[in-house]
Structure 1
Amino acid sequence: MPESAWKFLFYLGCWSYSAYLLFGTDYPFFHDPPSVFYDWTPGMAVPRDIAAAYLLQGSFYGHSIYATLYMDTWRKDSVVMLIHHVVTLVLIVSSYAFRYHNVGILVLFLHDFSDVQLEFTKLNIYFKARGGSYHRLHAVVADLGCLSFCFSWFWFRLYWFPLKVLYATFHSSLLAVPDIPFYFFFNALLLLLTVMNLYWFLYIVAFAAKVLTGQMRELKDLREFDMAEAQSPKPSKAE
């Protein structure tokens, strides 16, 4: 539970700050995605408010790589999770270095929202059985959070992300800067991020199918992977 509480607060803070940048300032990137490349020049100054978000997120994903390798329980998708963290950190560092930070803020905003809901739902799953008794309020909130998480994952990562980010990076970037550097490099990483979002969405669909068909009555993490079971040798025919 402490890990989920920490992650919930972190993602909530990061997403709220990204939302503030996109909706509480003069940045038009969400409503006008092609604007991320307006007036782009190599070596342009990075605004301090965006640089602060980059520093925070870069530090987090740097730690996440270490945590996945040496601290977290190994799961079915841990390899994909590790690739995700590496790709994200490379995108953060390289987009800052080559001044694609406007796109980066949009990417972070669209990805952090579902993580907020995921950790919030996990917390309520823990709370519903705390103290050896059943707490119905937390159970209802966990169920609603699960539904909201499924919807937000699709809407933010699989609908808005291609609609706003990929459209801007694949199409609008060439219109604004015809010879924009590292075009294929950044778009390849963003496509890889999209593929991983689709991969995890399969887990979400599998989870929903189990709930709807009655195969699962309690919320559980489909990512759980029993390492002892996976590593134990199967009995041979001779045995």
Structure 2
Amino acid sequence: MLSRLSEQIWADWIWFPEGHGWADLTDHDGQVFPKTQDLWATIPIALCFLVCRQIFERTVATPLASLLGVSDKQRVHAPPNPVLESYFCSTSKHPTQSSIEGLSKQAGCSVRQVQRWFRRRRNQDRPCKLKKFREASWRFTFYLLAFFAGLAVLIDKPWLYDMKQMWDDFPKMPLLPSQYWYYMIELGFYISLVFSIATDVKRKDFKEQIIHHVATISLISFSWLVNYIRAGTLIMLVHDSSDYLMEAAKMFNYAGWRNTCNCMFTMFAAVFIFTRLVILPFWIIYTTCVYPLTLYTPFLGFYFFNGLMLVLQALHIFWAVLILRMVVKFLPGNDIVEDERSDKDETESEDEDDGRERTEKFKNGHTQNGHTFLNNNHSKTD
């Protein structure tokens, strides 16, 4: 039964145009073609990336952060409080006003103290600036190297300049060694991102990032299986062309180099919009979605591949909106650009809160021995 099901799933008519099939991808006359088992090589490559990342962050990223002046603001930890901690972990990190009033009675604290406790507790869970810098520097390094590697792979290929040639003699296009390594390294890197997603900085577009990673891995893997490799290399090059600029902008942002950050981000925004909202849909997706209809009758693999392309394009439009919102922030009269996807520390002054609270207590005759002393000492450490 499993054998019959496998035959039906991998039937030629599903994945290839009429008259073609898996037999076309059999090695012959010294020509090599992509094979399903080749994809297993991406697992050890992904694991190597995880190891290399740890070494890179300790030996390169951390000293670089120190050189650029990246420093973390010391955060005040929330004092131990079992009642508030239980609510924070099991119910909500952002309690409503009515919940705060109830918690203040249970914990024996004022409403303002409960608000301050939750603010500090949330800040404790937010990643430090150094962690963000190390992550950005690792991705910057990979995307930069991958972009130039992609250029080296494609610079002398005719389908880079005439994209319709990506369909010449499809699917009987032999695999080149440079294409093999470009694919394996790119796919291995994206798999490593999935492995590390639990420990990486979680941003507001976390769900979109998951969708992007899954769509990218599926797209690269599928294009390898059915020999859409020429299209796949063009798609990867387009993506790598702007990603390293974004990571560079984030690095300089964390370092406090405002002008450099704004300059890098402006370059990133221009390249991103041009490559992903112009080149990708009007050149590449057109050549993978519209032009093949003049050559072949549509088949399931055609719809699957272009469906993934449209998912990526929808994500690009979503991110383009965020990018434009960030660009507005450093127009004349505005300050440094901030990553719209990142959670920011809540920076309301605890000292001012403490001062207002003590003043209110004094006016209302509610100053209590012991509690006032603890609040005073605590505010000094802030």
Q: Does 1:51 align with 2:180?
A: yes
Measure the CA separation in 1 of the matches of 2:298 and 2:329: 49
Matched, 1:123 2:251: yes
- 1:183-202 equivalent positions in 2, closer than 5 A: 183-202=302-321
How far apart in 2 are the matches of 1:195 and 1:179? 22
Moved more, 177-186 or 139-148: 177-186
In structure 2, what residue type is equivalent to 1:66?
A: F
Q: How well do the aligned residues superpose, as a CA RMSD in angstroms?
A: 2.0
Which residue, out of 52, 77, 90, partners 2:218? 90
Whether 2:134 is the aligned partner of 1:2: answer yes
Query: 176-185 or 216-225: which moved more?
Result: 176-185
Which among 265, 280, 291 is matched to residue 172 of structure 1?
291
Tell me, in whole angstroms, the C-alpha distance in 2 between the residues paired with 1:71 and 1:171.
41
Mapped to 2, the partners of 1:100 and 1:8 lie a distance apart of 27
* Contact 2:150-2:233 within 8 A present in 1 as well: yes
Task: Indicate if the aligned counterparts of 2:262 and 2:330 stay in contact, CA closer than 8 A.
Answer: no
With CA pairs under 8 Å and 6+ residues apart, which has the higher RCO, 1 or 2?
1
- Aligned pairs for 1:190-229 (under 5 A) are 190-212=309-331, 214=333, 216-225=334-343
Q: How does 1:21-100 map to 2 (within 5 A)?
A: 21-23=153-155, 25=156, 27-41=157-171, 44-68=173-197, 70-100=198-228
Whether the 8 Å contact between 2:203 and 2:341 is mirrored in structure 1 is: yes
User: Which residue matches 2:236?
Assistant: 108
Going from structure 1 to structure 2, the CA distance change for 1:3 and 1:73 (only over 3 Å counts) comes to closer
* Amino acid aligned to 1:4: A
CA contact (8 A) 2:163 2:284 kept: yes
Q: Percent of aligned positions with the same letter in both sequences?
A: 26
SS at 2:196's partner residue? helix
**Gaps in structure 2 of 5+ consecutive residues:** 1-132, 347-382
Structure 1 stretches of 4+ with a deviation exceeding 6 A read none
Give TM-score scaled by structure 2 length.
0.53
CA distance in 1 between counterparts of 2:282 and 2:259 reads 33
Larger radius of gyration: 2
Instruction: Provide the residue aligned with 1:13 in structure 2.
Output: 145
Q: CA deviation at 1:226?
A: 6.1
One-letter identity of the residue aligned with 1:146: F
Instruction: Provide the residue aligned with 1:231 in structure 2.
Output: none
- Unpaired runs of 5+ residues, structure 1, are 129-137, 229-239
Deviates more, 1:176-185 or 1:90-99: 176-185
Give the C-alpha shift of residue 207 in structure 1: 1.1
